[in-house]
Amino acid sequence: MHWRIRELEQRGCDMRGAMRRFLDDEEFYLKCLHETMEAKRLARIREALERQDFRRAFEIAHDLKGVSGTLGLTPVYEAVCRVVEDLRYDPKPELEQDLKALTETCEQLFD
């Protein structure tokens, strides 16, 4: 098993499920991980929120929810689910706190 995949598994990610979805193709998985889990995604959520474009922030967060679930990134998935629900209708007061928690979770997994 690739060291990065083993490291993610040790940090609470569902690598067994992810590897099943990726037909045990570790190289393809790592390519997808690199291309989709970049810091720009979180920055785009913040940019949309600064413009008060809550619909766009929701769309970006919802996309991240799907991607993180597919990639087996359980800690990210759980954190982004809270952000998605915070944005689903009207922004909830806990949005900033949940977005900060999502950012910290991503930093812990990818830095």
Kindly write down the DSSP assignment for every residue of 90-103, as one continuous string.
Answer: S--TTHHHHHHHHH
Cα-based distances in Å from 90 to 47, 55, 57, 65: 17, 9, 12, 18
**CATH 1.20.120 fits domain 3-110:** yes
Tell me the pTM: 0.92
Alpha helices, DSSP H, located in the chain = 3-10, 15-21, 26-36, 39-50, 54-70, 74-87, 95-110
Output the six-digit token pair for 42.
């979180």
Residue 38 has a pLDDT of 63
List, for residues 42-84, the tens digit of each pLDDT value.
899 999 999 999 999 999 999 999 999 999 999 999 999 999 9
d(CA 84, CA 20) in angstroms, rounded, equals 26
Residue extents of the structural domains in the chain: 3-110
Name the amino acid, one letter, at 35.
E
Spatial contact of 111 and 39, defined as CB atoms under 8 Å apart: no
